[in-house]
Chains A and B, each alone.
Chain A
Amino acid sequence: MTRRELLAVSAGAASAMALGEETSAIAEHEVQKLRIVDANVSLFRWPFRRFPLDETRMLAEKLQSLGVSEAWAGSFEGVFHRDVAGVNSRLFDECYKHPLFVPIGSVNLTLPGWETDLQRCFDEHNMMGVRVHPNYHGYTLEHEAFAKLLSMAAEAGRFVQIAVSMEDTRTQNELVPVADVNLSPLVPLLKQHQNAWVHLLNYRPQATLLQQFRGLPGVYFDSARVDGTDSIPRLVEATASGRVLFGSHAPFLVPEAALIRVHESGLLDPRALQEVLAGNANRFRRAELA
């Protein structure tokens, strides 16, 4: 059995477990067995700063010490490199060595032949989703290739993660200032692509857009940069149930930050807390089974 075949088997097993866990979450006595799924981490090096946890083994150990049993990993290389196939191959191999991580490939829609990179993510690496960085790659969500990506991903039953930001615009390197992704075009797009599943990484919610996203069931959010002591419960309420994933943006951010933020207000009851920590991610990942 090849490594990719092995991963395919494990991905299938994970999906089956996900279905089982969602069921178990309903039973009160099973609550403490629920895993934590971190839907937003990255591997390898950020070019402007070393992080204490940017060695994969150390990141895995830290996340596991916090109770995380699965982490969806993109690659910092995917933000900056142009040999995206090489980026994704290294990511796949690294995740194979550290099975806590589930690889999420990168796609740069401004590069010639990005469709081949996408197909390799799906067909060769059996990735359950891909991650895009429109602001770093220099396009808006109105770019026709983005609509094509949504179609291709939906057809393959995979999700798309949009990294809305990687870093606070106020602290970025002066040579590489990058505005957050403008998400306004996403609303009409998702009305046209109702089978698309999109996870907004590192998004700081804005009330007007949130109201529009509320009617689009394929849009999911994460906890990484939603700040304020009651911010997560408010986001859960604003987006309708089941749409907020736990995401830490580690190792860029300290993983404890998002984890504590999820529960610090005491406003989420145990069941809602469990859904944010794992249940919603398990439901979201089932895009590949739809």
Chain B
Amino acid sequence: MNSSDLLPGLPSPQQLKQYRIWDSYFTPSYSHPGRDGSSRLIADVESSLPAIRAGHFERLCYFAHVGLGTTTDAEYETLAQTQPAAILKPLEKWPDMLMGMIMLNGHRIDASLDALNRWLRDGPMLGVYFPGGGPAALTCNHPNFYKLVERITDLRGLIVQHTWFKTGGKQSSGESTPSELVELAARYPEQKFICAHAGGEWEKGIRAVRESPNILVETSGFDATAGFIEMAVRELGPERIVFGSHLPSRSLGTELGKIIGASIPERAKTMILGENYRKLLQPILASKPA
């Protein structure tokens, strides 16, 4: 007998494969990919592989630092600007498993617009991620976002915005709440936005985005608090929820457990775990060369 014989809590492998899980929030080496552009990130992907295999994930999307000042490491930022091939190594290593989005910097509009051309229009990336902390964090209702969102919409990319409602208030001025994302999303009804972490304090987060049909909530980033998915399905509908793993800093148990442990129909689980995300990515995937 080996460890694979003892996998309590998980559905059968057949069931997991039927879900066709696509992970919208994979965070290997989230804050820095390694001085050479990828080594730490690749190591984190490798440490996540047992969980990825246990969950029978099909694909995972991570967020790349592409030299827009999203890290605090000037040396890395220079490398990312001058040697973009270094950033592509994880995608080249796992071409059938990994997908990528770029981290944008709302403080640097022109450089971010150039990066959109390089990485979304001419490169393999499928969308953008606006962080909630670090040097690039900027509250998402800031006017700097407007030009960027317009260009992302032109390129048919997806937008992921880190959000939290924290008890006691924001930890830094650049953090965004779901309510601030609602303000931004209202200006671009044709653009889809992912409200990452559903605001963390999800009872408020779900309420905040409820009347914004172009916002979907992402499920990772906080404890597997019971009732979250049930409320989200009830208030938003299963079509407005996408699964995220937050691996490896969070766990398969915490994040997949939220969905498979929820008292919702199997059809809703299938939508949340992959189908909805595939629909969101379909426009930009269709624009890429086969």
Residues of A within 8 A of B (CB): 28, 31-32, 36, 49-53, 66-67, 167-174, 177, 225, 227-231, 250-270, 273-274, 277
Can you list 20 A-B contacts (CB < 8 A)?
A32-B5, A36-B8, A50-B227, A52-B263, A67-B8, A168-B223, A171-B202, A227-B250, A229-B251, A230-B248, A256-B253, A256-B257, A257-B224, A259-B253, A260-B7, A260-B9, A260-B251, A260-B256, A263-B6, A264-B54
Q: Are B3 and A66 in contact (CB under 8 A)?
A: no
Nearest chain B residue, comparing its CB with the CB of A202: B223
Q: Are B7 and A263 in contact (CB under 8 A)?
A: yes
Q: Are A256 and B47 in contact (CB under 8 A)?
A: no
Q: Are A264 and B8 in contact (CB under 8 A)?
A: no
Q: Are B167 and A170 in contact (CB under 8 A)?
A: yes
Which chain A residues lie closer than 8 Å to B286 at the CB level?
Answer: none
A170-B200, A172-B167, A266-B54 known; A253 vs B248 contact (CB < 8 Å): no
How many angstroms from the CA of A52 to the CA of B8 in the assembled complex? 20
Chain B interface, DSSP helix/strand/loop, else mixed: loop
Q: Are B252 and A168 in contact (CB under 8 A)?
A: no
How many angstroms from the CA of A73 to the CA of B143 in the assembled complex? 52
Which chain A residues lie closer than 8 Å to B5 at the CB level?
Answer: 32, 270
Most buried by A among B7, B47, B167: B167
- Closest chain-A Cβ to B81's Cβ sits at a distance in Å of 32
Q: Are B167 and A177 in contact (CB under 8 A)?
A: yes
Most buried by B among A172, A225, A262, A264: A264
- Closest chain-B Cβ to A267's Cβ sits at a distance in Å of 8
- Closest chain-A Cβ to B156's Cβ sits at a distance in Å of 33
Most buried by B among A177, A250, A254, A262: A254
Nearest chain A residue, comparing its CB with the CB of B225: A253
Which chain A residues lie closer than 8 Å to B168 at the CB level?
Answer: 169-170, 174, 177
Which chain A residues lie closer than 8 Å to B1 at the CB level?
Answer: 28, 31-32, 270
Q: Does B50 contact A (CB under 8 A)?
A: yes
How many angstroms from the CA of A267 to the CA of B54 in the assembled complex? 12
Nearest chain B residue, comparing its CB with the CB of A29: B1
Q: Are A66 and B9 in contact (CB under 8 A)?
A: yes
Q: Are B227 and A229 in contact (CB under 8 A)?
A: no
- Closest chain-B Cβ to A59's Cβ sits at a distance in Å of 10
Q: Does B261 contact A (CB under 8 A)?
A: yes
Q: Are A263 and B8 in contact (CB under 8 A)?
A: yes
Which chain A residues lie closer than 8 Å to B35 at the CB level?
Answer: none
How many angstroms from the CA of A50 to the CA of B248 in the assembled complex? 30
Q: Are B223 and A225 in contact (CB under 8 A)?
A: yes
A36-B8, A261-B251 known; A269 vs B3 contact (CB < 8 Å): yes
Which of B7, B200, B261 is the one whose CB lies under 8 Å from A171? B200
How many angstroms from the CA of A174 to the CA of B263 in the assembled complex? 28
Which chain A residues lie closer than 8 Å to B54 at the CB level?
Answer: 260, 263-264, 266
- Closest chain-B Cβ to A5's Cβ sits at a distance in Å of 34
The size bracket of the interface on B is 35 or more
Q: Are A264 and B51 in contact (CB under 8 A)?
A: yes
Nearest chain A residue, comparing its CB with the CB of B7: A263
- Closest chain-A Cβ to B187's Cβ sits at a distance in Å of 29
Which chain B residues lie closer than 8 Å to A167 at the CB level?
Answer: 223, 225
Q: Are A277 and B227 in contact (CB under 8 A)?
A: no
How many angstroms from the CA of A7 to the CA of B257 in the assembled complex? 33
Which chain B residues lie closer than 8 Å to A168 at the CB level?
Answer: 222-223
For window 1-58 of chain B, which residues contact chain A by CB distance below 8 Å? 1-10, 47-48, 50-51, 54-55
Most buried by B among A53, A168, A230, A257: A257
Q: Are B8 and A66 in contact (CB under 8 A)?
A: yes
Q: Does B262 contact A (CB under 8 A)?
A: yes
Which chain B residues lie closer than 8 Å to A268 at the CB level?
Answer: 3
Q: Does B114 contact A (CB under 8 A)?
A: no
How many angstroms from the CA of A173 to the CA of B201 in the assembled complex? 10
Q: Are B226 and A53 in contact (CB under 8 A)?
A: yes
Q: Are B253 and A252 in contact (CB under 8 A)?
A: no
Which chain B residues lie closer than 8 Å to A258 at the CB level?
Answer: 253
How many angstroms from the CA of A270 to the CA of B55 in the assembled complex? 19
Which chain A residues lie closer than 8 Å to B150 at the CB level?
Answer: none
Q: Does B212 contact A (CB under 8 A)?
A: no
Q: Does B180 contact A (CB under 8 A)?
A: no
A263-B3, A263-B6 known; A254 vs B224 contact (CB < 8 Å): yes
Q: Are B227 and A51 in contact (CB under 8 A)?
A: yes
Nearest chain B residue, comparing its CB with the CB of A273: B6
Which chain B residues lie closer than 8 Å to A230 at the CB level?
Answer: 47, 248
Q: Are A254 and B261 in contact (CB under 8 A)?
A: yes
Q: Are B248 and A257 in contact (CB under 8 A)?
A: no
- Closest chain-A Cβ to B227's Cβ sits at a distance in Å of 6
- Closest chain-A Cβ to B56's Cβ sits at a distance in Å of 12
Which chain A residues lie closer than 8 Å to B252 at the CB level?
Answer: 229, 260-261, 264
1/0 per residue, CB under 8 A from A, across B50-84: the answer is 11001100000000000000000000000000000
How many angstroms from the CA of A173 to the CA of B164 in the assembled complex? 15
For window 180-201 of chain B, which residues contact chain A by CB distance below 8 Å? 200-201
Which of A66, A228, A252, A266 is the one whose CB lies under 8 Å from B249? A228
- Closest chain-A Cβ to B46's Cβ sits at a distance in Å of 11
How many angstroms from the CA of A45 to the CA of B248 in the assembled complex? 33
Which chain A residues lie closer than 8 Å to B151 at the CB level?
Answer: none
Q: Are B203 and A254 in contact (CB under 8 A)?
A: no
